[in-house]
Amino acid sequence: MKIFIVGSGGREHAICCSLRQTSKRPMELFCAPGNAGIAQIAHCSPIPVSDTAALATFAHENKIDLTMIGPEAPLADGIVDVFEQRGLKIVGPNRNAARLESSKAFAKDFMRRHAIPTASHHVASSIEEAARILESGEFGGEHDPVVIKADGLAAGKGVFVACDRLQASEALDELKRGVVAAEAASKIIVEETLEGPEVSVLLFSVGKDFRLMPAARDHKRVGEGDTGPNTGGMGSITDSSVLDEATRVRIVCEVVEPTLRGCAAEGIPFRGILFVGLMLTHDGPRVLEYNVRFGDPETQAILVRLQTDLAEIFEAISETRLGSMGINWSSESSACVVLAAKGYPAKPETGAIIEGLDRARLHEHVSIFHAATTRGANGEWLTAGGRVLGVTAIGETLDVALSRCYAAASEIHWPGMHYRRDIGRTRGHDLGAVS
């Protein structure tokens, strides 16, 4: 079987590894563009994720049996529509369904139409209008927190959790200066803050049929104690403490099922991986955001617990027969700790020599997922981005999984490397959505 993975990060490396580890049938993996770690287990081709036509041609010419999309941008651009028009099997939502992630304004309106609980908000058509909304006092006074979001995809840089009006104004100034693409900031969402621990609920879905993955908790802030600027994610965990059974049932009834019914009712039946970011408030679960693909680094922590053939799951999604399939997960806990480059998230430095990978790999029950690495002229490992590696482990308890993570991480070094030492020890940021 030939499977094609589109993407280049730790998420895609984890998907490739899970395909290898859970399937017993012969398999050939391809990835575009991939990274140096992925290249150890898959054929990598330097096609940008933005070049939909070239990706479709590659899949056709290489007789790919199934394609899996990792990042959000190709889905928002309609890669699924193009592949399906060419008769190519692919896992993911079409362009219309992908608007749940590609437009926060669309998602908010969708939640309103289908009575899905979320934060109160206003959508502004300009930065100036957003400033007037702040000045109106609807979201509190000058010392109250508020959330500012760019409407479109912004690679994790489009959400600002402001502690007061000064920070909110600074967030609008950043958007005006172009911290995200102008198209992404064409609309601005001003939103009330929600308090409570965050949880990520991911599911495989075909229409109204779905299968939940283990609930995860991400840690977005760069600094320990959930301090500092937001990042793409500094670590994640799965554990029974993340979500109790009663709350899980409530999320399914109040969020998951209404979302899938709503998509079907609006003619955009959801097929692929749906990620629901939630805040567990005193008044119940509230949706912070939708993603229409695997999260990163949640995927690393989740997939190490998968016991069912991942390729069979992807096939069941593409052939709309997920409803007849059972999916099994390990009862263990898991943790992923992200090792980041100097300067991340603002201006990460690249090209540093990574030492200790061979020693780290010797640790039992540990997986090292490459997010941004390359090879030097002499075969040495080099950093090639902000989030460089995801050190991931499983254990009979969360404490055991974390101990294994940090023991392996302590073997790895490069100048300026940094990581959080409190993953799994905090609730995750508790004042609003961070994407």
* Domain CATH for 185: 3.30.1490.20
**Minimum mean pLDDT range among 130-139, 279-288, 289-298:** 130-139
Do 395 and 333 form a contact (C-beta atoms < 8 A)?
A: yes
Same domain flag for 225 and 138: no
In the predicted model, what is the mean pLDDT of residues 38-45?
98
On whether both 24 and 151 belong to a single domain, the answer is no
User: Above 60 in pLDDT, residue 352?
Assistant: yes
User: Binning pLDDT at 50, 70 and 90, where does residue 431 land?
Assistant: very low
Query: Residue 89 belongs to a domain with what CATH number?
Result: 3.40.50.20
Query: Whole-angstrom Cα distance, residue 42 to residue 429?
Result: 36
The bridge status of strand 28-33 relative to strand 43-44 is: parallel
Nearest alpha carbon to residue 311 among 290, 325, 291, 296: 325
Domain identity same for 210 and 312: yes
Mean pLDDT of 243-258: 98
Please provide the average confidence, as pLDDT, over all residues in the chain.
94
Alpha helix ranges (H) inside 200-342: 245-251, 257-265, 298-303, 310-318
Distance CA 316, CA 91 (A): 10
Look at residue 291 in the predicted model and tell me its pLDDT: 96
- Under DSSP, is residue 397 helix (H, G, I), strand (E, B) or coil? coil
Among 184, 173, 231, residue whose Cα is nearest residue 73:
184
Amino acid identity of residue 232, one-letter, is G
Residue 110 lies in a domain: no
Q: What's residue 182's pLDDT?
A: 82
* 129 within 8 A of 151, measured Cβ to Cβ: no
Is residue 108 domain-resident? no
Q: Are residues 74 and 201 in the same domain?
A: no
pLDDT of amino acid 138 = 86
Whether residue 36 is found in the same domain as residue 169: no
Q: Please name which of 194, 220, 157, 219 lies closest in space to residue 424, comparing C-alpha atoms.
A: 219
Let me know if residue 183 belongs to a domain.
yes
Looking at 191, 223, 240, the residue that finishes a domain is 191
- Judged on CB neighbours under 10 Å (0-12, 13-18, 19+), 10 is buried
Query: Which residue did the predictor score with more confidence, 165 or 367?
Result: 367
Query: Which domain-ending residue is among 175, 191, 207?
Result: 191
**Whole-number pLDDT of residue 290:** 97
270 and 126 housed in the same domain: no
Torsion of CA 423, 426, 431, 435, to 10 degrees: 20
User: Do 169 and 223 share a domain, yes or no?
Assistant: no
| pLDDT value of position 208 | 94
Neighbours of 262 (CB within 10 A): 18
Most confident of 80-94, 157-171, 226-240: 80-94
Picking from 293, 366, 372, 371, the residue whose alpha carbon sits closest to that of residue 335 is 366
Q: Both 163 and 74 in a single domain?
A: no
**Which of residues 147, 169, 191 is at a domain's end?**
191
CATH number at residue 203: 3.30.470.20
> Do 173 and 275 sit in the same domain of this protein?
no
CA dihedral 18, 24, 25, 27 (to 10 degrees): 30
Mean pLDDT of 376-402: 97
pLDDT, mean of residues 162-178: 89
Same-domain pairing of 159 and 223: no
Q: Is residue 116 part of a domain?
A: no
Whether the CA torsion 358, 217, 8, 303 is positive or negative: it is: positive
Q: Of all residues in the chain, what percent carry a pLDDT higher than 70?
A: 98
Tokens 């480059």 belong to residue: 341
Which residue, among 295, 320, 311, 316, has the nearest Cα to 11 in the 3D structure? Answer: 295
What are the C-alpha distances in Å from 302 to residues 136, 200, 225, 239, 394?
43, 11, 23, 10, 10
Lowest-confidence pick of 119-123, 226-230, 352-356: 226-230
Q: Return d(Cα 170, Cα 217) in angstroms, integer.
A: 28
Local structure of 82: helix, strand or coil:
helix
Checking if the pLDDT of 107 tops 90, the result is: yes
325 assigned to some structural domain: yes
Question: Does residue 187 sit within a domain?
Answer: yes
Q: How far apart are CA 193 and CA 213, in angstroms?
A: 27
Inside any domain, residue 102: no
182, 298: one domain? no
Query: DSSP H helical segments within 178-231, as ranges?
Result: none
Which pLDDT does position 176 carry in this prediction?
86
Q: Tell me how far apart the alpha carbons of residues 293 and 71 are, in angstroms, rounded to a whole number.
A: 7
Whose CA is closest to 69, among 83, 86, 85?
83
Residue 200, both tokens: 């990520």
The domain total for the chain is 3
Residues 185 and 217 in one domain: no
Q: Alpha-carbon distance 150 to 293, whole Å?
A: 19
pLDDT computed for residue 427 by the predictor: 65
Domain containing 264 equals 194-435
Is 407 a domain residue? Answer: yes
Region at 146 (left for phi over 0; alpha for psi -120 to 50; beta for the rest): beta
pLDDT of 428 reads 59
With residue 358 as reference, give the H or E element that holds it: helix 357-361
Q: Is the pLDDT of residue 307 over 70?
A: yes
